Amino acid sequence: MINQIGLEHGVHLIQVKQWKKILPEQAKTLFEDKRAPKPVAGTLDGNRSRGTSSEKEE
């Protein structure tokens, strides 16, 4: 399977093996965004409510 991945994507087998080893150790950093705004108190995900078009003033 590793050989197939390397062949399909033009990546050397050694590189694929290195990625396979590193990925479980550092997978969580793939989804971290250090540029993202800090969570705001009172919200679940830190994003402020944008409202719907019916809620916005015209």
Determine contact, residues 27/33, Cβ cutoff 8 Å.
no
What integer pLDDT is reported at residue 43 of this predicted model? 62
Q: Diameter of the chain by CA atoms?
A: 59
Determine contact, residues 49/57, Cβ cutoff 8 Å.
no
What integer pLDDT is reported at residue 8 of this predicted model? 92
What integer pLDDT is reported at residue 50 of this predicted model? 54
6-57: pLDDT as tens digits: 999 999 999 999 999 998 888 888 777 777 677 777 666 555 555 554 444 4
What integer pLDDT is reported at residue 51 of this predicted model? 52
At position 25, the amino acid (one-letter code) is: E
